[in-house]
């Protein structure tokens, strides 16, 4: 059943983006709590998005709780740091406090290159909607959420003002989510 989950989730991503992905596995770090078949799917630029997409495959394969999620992140380039980022998020989800919509995570380092974005915000897949965001398997609805790299100041803004205020800030500031060198949208 879990192998079927992995296969069908991979198909879900590849059919949605219309591109074959490459299976990548972090060869170090926290994997002991993850499903043995867990991996990150790297999808190259495609007709839907002209960027790389990294997707967790198997973050909720064991389906032992009601918090069934998978994550994806966009990138302007292929970079193994994103395999590490998503693997750490998946491990945290399985070993600490489960992640969910509107949560933030401390990445602990720039998400890419010398970016000031060293945190991430878990969001609905606004650019893609439910066609990507919902994966049905075995009677369960699994949410595929967008992991958006953010700055510590943006994370603090969310804590102080709420997730809706942060998303409004993104909209008003025209968040350049794909640019590792983007400026922080919190001013003052």
Confidence of residue 188 (pLDDT cuts 50, 70, 90): low
- DSSP assignments along 115-176, one per residue: -S--EEEEE--TTTTHHHHEEEETTEEEEEEEEEEE-HHHHHHHHHH-HHHHHHHHHHTT--
39 or 93: which leads in pLDDT: 39
Q: What is the pLDDT of residues 155-185, one digit of tens each?
A: 999 999 999 999 999 999 999 999 999 999 9
Model pLDDT, residue 58: 92
Q: Is the pTM of this model over 0.85?
A: yes
Q: What is the pLDDT of residues 63-113, one digit of tens each?
A: 666 789 999 999 999 999 999 999 999 988 887 678 999 999 999 999 999
SS3 sequence of 20-33: CCEEECCCCCCCCC
């Amino acid at each position: 059943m879990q192998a079927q989950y992995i296969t069908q989730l991979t198909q879900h991503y590849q059919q949605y983006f219309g591109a074959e992905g490459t299976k990548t596995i972090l060869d170090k770090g926290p994997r002991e709590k993850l499903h043995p078949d867990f991996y990150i799917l790297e999808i190259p630029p495609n007709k839907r998005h002209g960027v790389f997409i990294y997707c967790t495959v198997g973050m909720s394969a064991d389906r032992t709780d009601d918090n069934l999620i998978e994550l994806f992140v966009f990138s302007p380039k292929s970079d193994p740091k994103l395999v590490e980022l998503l693997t750490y998020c998946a491990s945290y989800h399985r070993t600490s406090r489960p992640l969910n919509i509107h949560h933030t995570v401390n990445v602990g380092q720039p998400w890419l290159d010398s970016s000031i974005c060293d945190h991430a915000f878990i969001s609905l897949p606004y650019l893609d909607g439910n066609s990507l965001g919902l994966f049905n398997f075995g009677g369960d609805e699994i949410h595929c959420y967008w992991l958006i790299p953010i700055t510590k100041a943006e994370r603090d803004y969310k804590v102080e003002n709420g997730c809706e205020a942060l998303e409004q800030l993104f909209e008003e500031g025209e968040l350049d989510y794909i640019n590792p060198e983007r400026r922080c949208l919190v001013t003052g």
